[in-house]
Structure 1
Amino acid sequence: MELPVSFLENMKKLLSPEEFNAYLDSYSEERVYGLRVNTNKLTPEEFEKICPFEIKKIPWIDNGYYYSGKDKPAKDPYYYAGLYYLQEPSAMTPAHVLPIEPGDRVLDICAAPGGKSTELAAKLKGKGVLVSNDISNSRAKALLKNLELFGISNAYVISEAPYKLAEHFESYFDKILIDAPCSGEGMFRKEPSVMKSWVEHGNDYFVKLQQEITSYALKMLRPGGMLLYSTCTFSPLEDEQIVSRMLKEDPDLELVEPEWYEGFDHGHPEWSDNNQELTKCVRIWPHRMKGEGHFLALLKKKGESSRLKERQTEKAKMPQELFDFLQTVKKPLALDRLEIRQEKVFVHPDCRRDLKGLRIMRSGLLLGECLKNRFEPSQALAMALRADEYPNVLYLSREDDRVIRYLKGETIDLKDEESVEKGWVLICVDNYPLGFGKAAGGSVKNKYLAGWRWM
């Protein structure tokens, strides 16, 4: 791999000769692959018992595992059940470090394709609200799919510029994650194509974006709230110097040193304004750890944060067919926040802000659609359910060839011993939902979402 000459010169200034050579040697090593278990659906220990391929614990991520590049976990039924997210190990660190508590109001401001949002949402455990935003509408569509695949019910998916968010969410969020657009120097080994963008744009282009995003994010952070800033680059211009700028912009901010792992490197004050607090930042180098390059800083805003109690509002009137279906669902749903809009039925998170004027791609959980005297449950609802929260379930083992046929959109036949009632049936692989079908006459008509099908 031929690295840009100017990049190498920059790295020589950051690293000692010995470390610089070790960094170069890391390019001859095979990149590592990681997956993160969806704790919204199962524990890491439960996943270890059923995982069909070889995995090894990532030491600094509670629910993270290495897997071999020879395996294809994205083509496994468990992936389609939302049991894990494929993510580079170092990139798991920011969402792991940000201390999310159930009930928090959380913002992921540069969220697509969803690697960090899915973890933040899982840590919320269905309580509070996640605003998951990406300025790119096309990328936000992938973000929405991943959140729905994970069974997340309390998220807004928005596609807006940071300044528009700040107009609606001033001093609102308990926790904010900024995985900032950056020059991507830490990903050169994983994705060599990133070097082309680096040569074209350099660091200064991204510095301007980072300054803008962080300034608006600070306006949205509540007193007592915490903000996690991260990049996948090595440049101090985009790392320590951006953090130093935030500290000067808001005197109430202070750096918090996260739980330390022996492979981490401290931030370097000498690469910025010599503020010794910058040592509380974290640098991840690919020659020191089994992961790509990353930088993160955890900041807290002084003051006290008061938790809002959930509001109880009047339950919306609903069509009889919707009422009848929901009577069969055991999952607790905040039906006082139910809305029917153009036949689609949603349950909104408890946001308490006027969101008119924002490009909202999803507000909470899409339950399904009210059509002509019937209700059709959604793929999102299927993924948000547990098997024991719906009465009519078809349990299939991972080895059953009908699982793949279902994921491909085919009608599947029932076996004589399978006691499935006529009507809507929840299809599960080893107790984990995949989607809905409609049973009648010894077979199940496929209702798996067309855009999600096995290719």
Structure 2
Amino acid sequence: MSLPTDFIQKYQRLLASQAPEFLTSLAQAPTAGFRLNPQKAQLEQVNEDLSQPITEVSNGYRGKIDGHSIDHLAGWIYSQDPSAMNVAQVAQPQAHERVLDLCAAPGGKTTQLAALMHNQGLLIANEINHSRARVLSSNVERWGLTQTVVTNNSPAQLAAIFPHFFDCIVVDAPCSGEGLFRKDPTAMQYWSLDLVQQCAQRQQEILISAMQMLAPQGRIIYSTCTFAPEEDEQIIAWLLDNYPLTVQDLPRPAGVDSGRPEWGNQQMELKKAWRLFPQHYAGEGHFICALQCTETASSYQSSQEPYHRSNWPDQQLWQDFEQQTLQNISWPQLLRQQDNLYCPALNPETLASSKVLRNGLKLGTFKKKRFEPDHALVLALRPDQFQQVFDLNSSQFQHFVHGEALILTQNLPKGWIAVSYQNKIFAWGKVVQNQLKNFLPKGLRQP
């Protein structure tokens, strides 16, 4: 790997005697990690190696996973760099809070925040890039989240909708990507000193919108995957100079360095920030700083009107499906929009001017004389919330993930049924005569 000359010279100047160890670490192999989904995973049934827990991260482990495994398909695990796991852990969102993941794709921090919130409260996961927002939405679905809204807006657009609304905002800002050089060597091709300055300007613009959405006494967690002081300490110094914020002093895990005041206008509060250097912490490069707003008054009150069940065309189709297929569920609210049925996480009227990819849980779609459940529903429910779960053997699983229907040798009641493998639910099936029809989405099928 050939590091850019300007990069080498810059960090030789900044790190002085520490530079050789730092630069050498960038030539080493990248790290890998994964998290378990506490809403689903049973430790004794997980196929992955759990011998290397990350003690400072809830449900975090070091090691590589198979993205085609049943654990992944069923939403039991999520691949994530160990350093990046610390961002949501620092945020410590509470179950009752309103949380915003402002630059959320592909979804590692979103799924981790939701896990820490016990899939309660309200979590809005936003991504400005549409294709990346779709990946984010699919990971939210796979994780089985029901209290999460996925939006595809600019930070400024969201700020107009949610003034002073969020108790906690995570800004994992787009950056120059220096911390990912080991993981993605192509990042070095795009790196330049000018790119660092451009990213710093963009980060300030994002944070201006974020601060407009932060509630009094709210927390903002700023992070990047770069080493650049212009995007790290200097951004925090700028925030402290312009907004009523204080840096939270959080205990640093072993191997995590403190921020460098000398890189941020001698702002001594920067010692409370975290720097994750790969020569000291077994992860990729990261910067994390948690700040709290010192304002105490709010003139904004959100409108969270409940949505009551109401009659809609073909309501009996849903009721028949629910009675025949599900159990032990009480829906807090149901909403029909066009031919789709939802259990929304947020009043759709609040989101009327935003681009929404997912609002809570999509239950399914009304089609001609039938109700067809959505893939999100089968991934969101516990095994005991289905009347029937059909567990495949190894051969049946291989055929099913290819998209094939199965010939049944045992009698099963006709209709919809949850399909599992190794007792891990991952798809809907429909029993028709002696066949199990396959409703695993085409995009999830494996060759």
TM-score range, shorter chain: over 0.9
> Aligned partners of 2:310 and 2:404: how far apart in 1?
36
Q: How does 1:322-341 map to 2 (within 5 A)?
A: 322-327=318-323, 328-330=325-327, 332-336=329-333, 338-341=334-337
How far residue 54 of structure 1 moved from its aligned partner, in angstroms, is 6.1
Amino acid corresponding to residue 410 of structure 1 in structure 2: E
How far residue 215 of structure 1 moved from its aligned partner, in angstroms, is 0.8
Q: How does 1:199-348 map to 2 (within 5 A)?
A: 199=192, 201-251=194-244, 253-303=245-295, 312-318=306-312, 319-327=315-323, 328-330=325-327, 332-336=329-333, 338-348=334-344
Give the 3-state SS of the residue equivalent to 2:420 in structure 1: strand
> Aligned partners of 1:299 and 1:248: how far apart in 2?
13
Following superposition, which runs of at least 4 residues in structure 1 exceed 6 angstroms of deviation? 305-310
Q: 1:267 to 1:331 in 2, by over 3 A?
A: farther
How far residue 264 of structure 1 moved from its aligned partner, in angstroms, is 0.6
**CA deviation profile, 1:126-172 (whole Å, cap 9, x unmatched):** 32111111110111000000000000111111111111000000000
Q: 1:6 to 1:356 in 2, by over 3 A?
A: same
> Aligned partners of 1:237 and 1:48: how far apart in 2?
46
> Aligned partners of 1:216 and 1:11: how far apart in 2?
31
**Aligned alpha-carbon RMSD (Å):** 2.1
**CA deviation profile, 1:196-215 (whole Å, cap 9, x unmatched):** 12138520110111000011
The sequence identity of aligned pairs, in percent, is 35
> Aligned partners of 2:119 and 2:412: how far apart in 1?
30
**TM-score, normalising length: structure 1:** 0.92
> Aligned partners of 2:50 and 2:346: how far apart in 1?
41
Q: Are the equivalent residues in 1 in contact too, given 2:170–2:221 (CA < 8 A)?
A: yes
Question: Which piece of structure 1 moves more, 171-180 or 46-55?
Answer: 46-55
Q: Are the equivalent residues in 2 in contact too, given 1:81–1:429 (CA < 8 A)?
A: no
Q: Are the equivalent residues in 2 in contact too, given 1:78–1:429 (CA < 8 A)?
A: no
> Aligned partners of 1:308 and 1:335: how far apart in 2?
19
Amino acid corresponding to residue 157 of structure 2 in structure 1: K
Give the 3-state SS of the residue equivalent to 1:314 in structure 2: coil
> Aligned partners of 1:15 and 1:296: how far apart in 2?
19
Does residue 11 of the first structure (1) align with residue 4 of the second (2)?
no
> Aligned partners of 1:250 and 1:233: how far apart in 2?
24
How far residue 430 of structure 1 moved from its aligned partner, in angstroms, is 2.7
**Equivalent residue pairs, number:** 442
Give the 3-state SS of the residue equivalent to 1:21 in structure 2: helix
Q: Are the equivalent residues in 2 in contact too, given 1:382–1:436 (CA < 8 A)?
A: yes
Question: Which piece of structure 1 moves more, 144-153 or 115-124?
Answer: 115-124
**TM-score, normalising length: structure 2:** 0.94
Give the 3-state SS of the residue equivalent to 1:248 in structure 2: helix
Question: Which piece of structure 1 moves more, 84-93 or 48-57?
Answer: 48-57
Which of 333, 352, 355 pairs up with 1:359? 355
> Aligned partners of 1:333 and 1:276: how far apart in 2?
51
Give the 3-state SS of the residue equivalent to 2:115 in structure 1: helix
Q: Are the equivalent residues in 2 in contact too, given 1:385–1:433 (CA < 8 A)?
A: no
Does residue 181 of the first structure (1) align with residue 181 of the second (2)?
no
**Runs of 5+ in structure 1 lacking a partner?**
none
> Aligned partners of 2:14 and 2:331: how far apart in 1?
52
Q: Are the equivalent residues in 2 in contact too, given 1:113–1:140 (CA < 8 A)?
A: yes
Give the 3-state SS of the residue equivalent to 1:22 in structure 2: helix
